């Protein structure tokens, strides 16, 4: 079947309708029996499909002198240019109506998942499919940083979505519970560019925060129990970010420099402490100004500094520069 005809299934045509329509277009006019023979269908099946085409304005009744002697009532094709345009317009109208109903449908969805907090800032997740969907949403929408609480069982290697996020310049900071953390996993975490990992005992849960604007937090340590929360911007999310930062500042880096900084961040920190502006740092290191600003923001967070000057003082005090 030509590619342009196979695309007609997107207009809601029943299976087999395209073949009947194409056969009629080739013949110009034909009886039901002829079209059934052409397409290998029963006359009853061909009649049902032709009735669908007629109801949608694609074929017309016509008197036919059939080549096989089947004279009498038959079919002719309407001009596809006008008939198909009308059908396409009808479907576009229906799609626009569906799109218009999305906000109302989404509100029903969110209402069914509201928690006892009585607002929309927290959504309950009850299946692993929902949890995975929300986690992938965090990775897909992140622009700057992902914060992760991770516990056993650990998996070696980053997933596809994580790799895509890393390739976009999104950085990861990961807190790992020492229970179940193997040397292989530790070495792998330390080797990934764009990911910094630290060990902290007794992590309260598994979870992730994207750009400090949304989070997924599990509520049960048992892997067979799918219970989690999706948290949007709210005081609760602010508290989760503070909890992560507090734990991060007290955690032990996995391998590498005890500061937990990668090579590029150490260079940025040194130039920042020297008083250089973002543009000058970018030129010096051969990276973009946007990357510099992202690294500076990470450094301010890691040092719990209120300003660039404060960061330089704190980095000097800690022996980072």
pTM score above 0.75: no
Distance from C-alpha of 152 to C-alpha of 210, rounded to nearest angstrom: 21
Q: Mean pLDDT throughout 141-168?
A: 76
Note the CATH architecture for domain 3-84. Answer: Orthogonal Bundle (1.10)
CATH assignment of 119-256?
3.30.870.10
Cβ-based neighbours of 245, under 8 Å, separated by 6 or more: 301, 304
Q: Do domains 119-256 and 259-321 have the same CATH topology?
A: no
Report the DSSP beta bridge partners of residue 199: 176, 252
On whether the CB atoms of residues 268 and 171 are closer than 8 A, the answer is no
162 vs 106: CA distance, rounded Å: 27
Residue (of 242, 244, 190, 212) closest to 144 by Cα position:
212
Interval 58-67 mean pLDDT? 68
- Winning range, highest mean pLDDT, from 140-154, 279-293, 296-310: 279-293
Instruction: With H, G, I as helix, E, B as strand and everything else as coil, classify residue 73.
Output: strand
What is the CB neighbour count within 10 angstroms for residue 16? 16
| pLDDT(223) > 70 | no
Domain residue ranges of the chain, discontinuous segments joined by +: 3-84, 119-256, 259-321
Report how far residue 27's alpha carbon sits from residue 38's, in angstroms, rounded to the nearest whole number. 10
Looking at domain 259-321, its CATH class is mainly alpha
Confidence band, pLDDT 50/70/90 cuts, at residue 109: low
Q: Which of 10-24, 195-209, 258-272, 289-303 has the lowest mean pLDDT?
A: 258-272
Identify the pLDDT of residue 198.
85
Compute the distance between CA of residue 312 and CA of residue 303 in angstroms, rounded to an integer: 9
């Amino acid at each position: 079947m030509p590619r342009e005809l196979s695309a007609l299934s997107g207009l809601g045509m029943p299976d087999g309708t395209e073949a009947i329509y194409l056969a009629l277009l080739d013949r110009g006019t034909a009886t039901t029996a002829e079209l059934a023979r052409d397409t290998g269908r029963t006359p009853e099946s061909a009649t049902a499909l032709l009735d669908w085409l007629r109801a949608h304005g694609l074929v017309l009744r016509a008197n036919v002198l059939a080549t096989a002697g089947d004279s009498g009532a038959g079919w002719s094709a309407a001009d596809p240019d006008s008939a198909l345009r009308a059908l396409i317009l009808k479907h576009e109208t229906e799609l626009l109506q569906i799109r218009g109903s999305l906000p109302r449908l989404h509100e029903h969805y969110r209402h069914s998942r509201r928690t006892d907090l009585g607002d929309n800032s927290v959504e309950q997740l009850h299946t692993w499919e929902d949890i995975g969907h929300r986690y992938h949403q965090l990775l897909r929408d992140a622009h700057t940083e992902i914060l992760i609480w991770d516990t056993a069982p650990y998996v070696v290697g980053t997933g596809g979505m994580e790799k895509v996020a890393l390739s976009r310049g999104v950085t990861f900071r990961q807190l790992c519970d020492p229970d179940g953390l193997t040397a292989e996993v530790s070495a792998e975490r330390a080797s990934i560019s764009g990911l910094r990992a630290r060990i902290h005992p007794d992590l309260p849960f598994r979870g992730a925060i994207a750009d400090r604007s949304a989070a997924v937090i599990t509520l049960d340590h048992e892997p067979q129990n799918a219970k989690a929360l999706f948290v949007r911007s709210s005081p609760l999310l602010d508290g989760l970010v503070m909890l992560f930062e507090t734990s991060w500042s007290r955690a032990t880096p996995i391998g590498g420099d005890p500061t937990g900084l990668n090579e590029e961040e150490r260079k940025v920190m040194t130039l920042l402490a020297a008083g250089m502006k973002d543009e000058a740092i970018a030129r010096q290191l051969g990276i973009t100004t946007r990357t510099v600003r992202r690294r500076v923001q990470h450094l301010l967070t890691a040092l719990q500094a209120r300003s660039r000057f404060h960061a330089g003082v704190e980095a000097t005090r800690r022996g980072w520069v």
